[in-house]
Amino acid sequence: MAPPPRWVRRLLIAPAVVALAFFAVTTLPVWLLVALAASPLAPGWLRPLRLLWISLFYLVLNAAALVVMFGLWLACGFGWKKRSPPFQRAHYALTGWCLSVLFWQVRWTLRLRITVAGPDPDVAAPGRPELVLCRHAGPGDSFILIHALVNWYRREPRIVLKDTLQWDPAVDVLLNRLPNQFLAPERRRHRDSSAARTIGELAAGLDENDAMVIFPEGGNFTPRRRLAAIARLRSRGLADAARRAEQLRHVMAPRPGGVLAALAAAPTAGVIFVAHTGLERLVTVADVWRELPMDKELTMRFWSVPPDQVPAGRQERIEWLYEWWRRIDDWIDTHRPAPRPRPGAPPGSAGLQRVPPVRLLPFRFGPGS
């Protein structure tokens, strides 16, 4: 659903979220008692209570971020200097703090761990502009990636997002004040607007601590979307691309347009490929409810490609991108967690054994920690 106009989001939705958070905090004992009473009726340990707590926590965090950003808006002359470097840095610091607190709470409430496999702990450290190409699957993987870039690697990310995320007031206000771009689906987009052009414009002018984030698949991976993407390639007469897409089991075929535009706009940038696995089964709200409490481990892997190793020609870059996506697909096949056995299933029927990750990165509480 398309978000409402900006004035509605700023004058109605954002204040409503702050008011709702105030109401939730002042009546918190009532909600906790209700959730606690309902917990024995649901499977899992305190599932309703955990879900209520993380929902209320996100609501309060959202409202707190809005209040802070309102103060920043006043401090920069009612928005006059909100694009100035000091206030840009302040908003990146706020981004890092919010994500640190959020994932600390997710770790505690839902028992979600984030693990990074790979030998290089500084693969995305500042020093040159980077294009970050990540697979897209599971709820919140874009939040996790931005959390890693801001808090682990001290990067200032730029990202193209779906415009529906502007329904979230804090995401709406914060990311619209930073060099990001919300993009409507193709059916609602103006004729002269394309994702590739938008990505190219956003990738231009990256500096040594910037990171342009791209999800080349164009959407969250699901088996149904994978089949639809293969069918779309065949309908366009791209039989070879469809054949290669069929060979990818855990990812969708990458759409090269945005990647090519970013590479052309940022010729001095390196490329970081990001794979992750662990949350693929969480596709719908029903999936999330069934899996609570999660007890999940999200395993990530970063690969860095220096600028001089990026192919120069258009077709060579497309082949290179497909080859990297095949490599990511193979990595996911090796590291994906074994599915939980079905009730009544015989021992040993859970599936493939998960390969243990290399190292566990701690959660950090905001930039500078």
The model's pTM: 0.85
Task: Name the residue type at position 204.
Answer: A
The continuous run of DSSP H or E covering 257 comes out as helix 256-265
Mean pLDDT of the chain: 84
User: What confidence tier does 338 reach under pLDDT thresholds 50, 70, 90?
Assistant: low
- Of the listed ranges 303-307, 318-322, 330-334, 338-342, the least confidently predicted one is 338-342
Helix (DSSP H) and strand (DSSP E) numbers for the chain: 13, 8
163: Cβ–Cβ under 8 A, 6 or more apart, which residues? Answer: 2, 3, 182, 183, 184, 185
Q: What backbone torsions phi and psi does residue 48 show, to the nearest 5 degrees? A: -60, -40
Q: Which amino acid is at 136?
A: H
Per-residue pLDDT band for 284 (boundaries 50, 70, 90) equals low
Question: Residue 215 phi/psi, 5° resolution?
Answer: -110, 95
pLDDT at res. 291: 65
| Percentage with pLDDT > 90 across the chain | 51
CA nearest 215: which of 175, 183, 174? 183
Q: What is the pLDDT of residue 51?
A: 84
Burial bucket for residue 45 (CB in 10 Å: 0-12, 13-18, 19+): exposed
pLDDT surpassing 70 at residue 179: yes
Average pLDDT over residues 185-192: 62
Question: pLDDT digits over 156-174, tens only?
Answer: 999 988 888 999 999 999 9
Query: What is the rounded distance in angstroms from the CA atom of residue 101 to the CA atom of residue 99?
Result: 5
pLDDT digits (tens, 9 = 90+) for 102-113: 989 888 877 788
Query: What's the pLDDT tens digit per position in 71-98?
Result: 999 999 888 888 899 999 999 999 999 9
For the chain, percent of residues with pLDDT exceeding 70: 83
